[in-house]
Each structure stands twice: as structure tokens, then as C-alpha cells.
Amino acid sequence: GPALLFVKTSQGKEEGRRFYACSACRDRKDCNFFQWEDEKVSETRLAAREEYNRNHQPFFTHRQNVDRYKNFVLLPLSKRRFCQECQQLLLPAEWEKHSDHQFLCDITTAQLKSPSQLLYPLENKKTNAQYLFADRSCQFLLNLLFGLGFRRVLSVGTPRLHEMIQSKASEEEEFSVRSLLLDIDFRYSQFYTEDEFCHYNMFNHHFFGGEAARETCRKFLYEENGERVIMVADPPFGGLVEALASSFKKLMAMWRETEKEGHDSREMPMLWIFPYFFESRILDFFPSFSMMDYQVDYDNHALYKHGKTGRRQSPVRIFTNLTPSMIVLPEEEGYRFCTACQRYVSSGNQHCEICNSCTSKDGRRWKHCVLCKKCVKPSWFHCNNCNCCTLEKHSCEKTDIGCFVCGKAGHKRSACPSLSCT
């Protein structure tokens, strides 16, 4: 899909040279596309790019994968094979081509309904960062959405939530929730129809299936028969918040365009799953959002696990534009309702009477600093030289240089207004 526009800056200089780079891959080893904004590209180089793109297309189209799946499920169990090397469902006529590959045999219907467990997670932190919800978090999200009356879930980068919804809908007649998965991992097209999965890049709002896929998304967002829609997004944590926010706003705009009365002045309900230390960046783009205390954990991430203590616990939280008091967190996991804040908080998050808020972000009890006029982490102490709270062992050498980009004080590089990203 379309590249993103960045700016290359030098310390202390506001002006920088702008360039285009890949929206999805932030490592040149994965995608070496780079072009200065003012650069004239030769016909030869354009032709070479087109050739590269043609050679890197998936072997089968989505429609072909759907037809292959229909043939695959008709096979007896003994003839159902999955190539682990190619990450592909195999039909008997294709076995010989994959004879020197490792493959799984006797693929069951249960495995086909849980493709996120059949496929290898793509764990390149700078490209895919495909960490999958643990069953605890997935079940909590599903129960929450169902309890709040949502019957359609736009699952953006949440394959495990999508498959749980799909599975329950096929097994339980009274379960009326539907899901549409938008994901950059095209392997899921082997398991889902065009009405269940759209190949999508959440960093540039690009539908690889073109207008047909966009129309599928539009139709899904249309709220008929009182079926309320909510978007649940779980982006790679190394992704640019600006780019993600831009795409999510465009999805919200698609929802507003479904001609329902009252949509013009409202935001589409949303849950954005992201680490708590991005709170200020997310609120810059979505001031109506609040951060919930619920710790989201992942099956295939060594650190992002619920139940750990101190700095080892999961930093991943839910940001939402839903009314905080509506998000009921499980009391058996230590969450409680704060009547002053009118929201559920973790047991260690004590209400500060001075701040008039439950101020902890990481689950530990924070302490109020009178000099800083705010609550800080329990391991921090006020440093008179730095005139702020920080770790006890730190270097308090003062410098006149502020932001790395523009040189001004008062903000960090990541929040510099001189940075460009479109």
C-alpha cells in the first residue's frame, strides 16, 4: 500500500528533508523502500519496483483460497495436511511439491476454527509483532462486548478474538455476535471468506482487496436491526501512534457515512489495546478516550503476562471512548470500583485525594509529590537539582538542549510539532 511521509532531522534544526518509507516495515532489512520527497524517480527504477511487487504477491488470491478451503474440508481426516514451511493448507495433488517440507497431518475441524494456533506467529517486533491474546484476555473482551450489547465487532489486528467469536457463533445458536477481521497477515485468507476477512494495513488504511474489500467493511459497519458496532484494535506496539490514529479515524468516518441518524457528532465505539506509556500520545489524537486498568496479556510474549508483580507485569491496557463505569473489571482478579473516579481500578491503585484521581498507571501504588504537584512511581524521589521526581540513582547533569529535533525545551522528540507524518 501507500508509503508514509517522514522527515529526517538534525539536532537543533527545525527544517528537515522529507522522505517516503514503508508504512508497515520499520526495518530496512524487511522492506528497503526509500525515496526522498523531492526526488525524481527514473522509469527504470519504477519498472524494477513494479517487477519486485509482482514477484512478491501471494501465490493464491483470496477467492482461490476460499475455494481451496471448501475442497479441503471435504477431505477425510487422513488426507488433510498443513505445510509448516509454507504455512499453507495442502490438497492431495500438491503433496509431492512439498515432500521435503515438514507438515502437520490429520488437521481437525477444531484446528481449522483456530488458525492463530495453527499458523506460526510473525514476531518481528518492527514489522508484524504478532502477539496473540491469552485466553483470559480474549474471553474477558468477548464477555464485555456481549454484555454491553454490541453484536458486531470490527476486529483490527485481533485474529484470536475474531476466531473466538466465529467459533462461538457456529456452535451456539443464541450467540448473535459477528466479527470482521482486518489484518495484514494474508495467511488468514485460507480460513475465512471475503465477508469474514479483509487484507488490511492499519498503518495507512489500505485495503489490499480494493473497492470490493472497502465495500465489505462499509456494509459490516452499517447498523441494521439494532446491531451495534464496536472496533477493537491491537496494533504492533512499535507502530507510530500518529499513523494508527489516522487510520482509526478513517474507519470511524466510514462508520459515520453509513447514513445512520446521529452518527455525525459521535465517535464509533472503540477499544484500542496498547501499552500505558503511550497514554498521552493516544489522548492527543482521541481526547475522549480513557485508559482502563485492566492488564491485557498474551500467550506468546515472555513479559506481557497477567499476575506478575512490579515492573514484570503486563503494561498493556485498554483505551476506550466508552463510559469508564461501563467497563466492569473482574473482582476475582483484584479489581475494585472507585466511587470517586466512577471506574474500576486495580487493587494497588489507591485514590489520591489531592489529585482527586486513582493515579497509578502500572498497577503499583503511586505516591504524591507536593513539589511536582502530581503522583509519581513509588521508586522515584524528588531531585532538587532536576526540580522533578526521578530515580534515586540518576545523572542530574543539566543541559540547555531541549528537544532533539527543534532544540526547544518542554517536550520530547516524539511529541515535537516539527515532526511530519501523513
Q: Could you tell me if residue 75 is inside a domain? A: yes
**Whether 283 and 181 share a structural domain:** yes
pLDDT of residue 395: 84
> Quick one: average pLDDT of 138-166?
95
**Whether 208 and 342 share a structural domain:** yes
**Whether 196 and 299 share a structural domain:** yes
Say yes or no to pLDDT of 112 above 90.
yes
Provide the number of structural domains found in the chain. Answer: 3
**Whether 267 and 293 share a structural domain:** yes
Q: Could you tell me if residue 397 is inside a domain? A: no
110 pLDDT band, cuts 50/70/90, is: very high
Say yes or no to pLDDT of 378 above 60.
yes
**Whether 315 and 209 share a structural domain:** yes
Residue that is written with C-alpha cell 502437520 in the block: 104
Q: What is the pLDDT of residues 119-133, one digit of tens each?
A: 987 755 444 456 788
- Minimum mean pLDDT range among 31-35, 84-88, 166-170: 31-35
Pick 39 or 260 by higher pLDDT: 39
pLDDT of residue 141: 96
Return the CATH number at 319: 3.40.50
**Whether 317 and 233 share a structural domain:** yes
**Whether 221 and 274 share a structural domain:** yes
pLDDT of residue 403: 61
**Whether 102 and 148 share a structural domain:** no
pLDDT above 90 covers a percentage of the chain that reads 59
HSE on the CB side for 157, CA within 13 Å?
25
**Whether 22 and 171 share a structural domain:** no
pLDDT of residue 257: 87
**Whether 162 and 47 share a structural domain:** no
Q: What is the pLDDT of residues 309-333, one digit of tens each?
A: 445 678 899 999 999 999 999 999 9
**Whether 82 and 218 share a structural domain:** no
Instruction: Kindly report the average pLDDT of the chain as a whole number.
Output: 86
Residues 194 and 212 sit within 8 Å (Cβ to Cβ): yes
Q: What is the pLDDT of residues 56-70, one digit of tens each?
A: 888 899 999 999 999
> Quick one: average pLDDT of 166-170?
90
> Quick one: average pLDDT of 163-179?
89
Q: What is the pLDDT of residues 241-280, one digit of tens each?
A: 999 999 999 999 999 988 665 556 688 999 999 999 999 9
Say yes or no to pLDDT of 172 above 90.
no
pLDDT of residue 248: 97
Measured at the alpha carbon of residue 161, what is the angle toward residues 155 and 162, in degrees to the nearest 5?
Answer: 60
Q: Which of 207, 275, 290, 208 has the alpha carbon at shortest distance from 241?
A: 275
**Whether 276 and 147 share a structural domain:** yes
Write down which residue in 36, 56, 76 finishes a domain: 56
The residue range of the domain holding 50 is 4-56
Say yes or no to pLDDT of 210 above 50.
yes
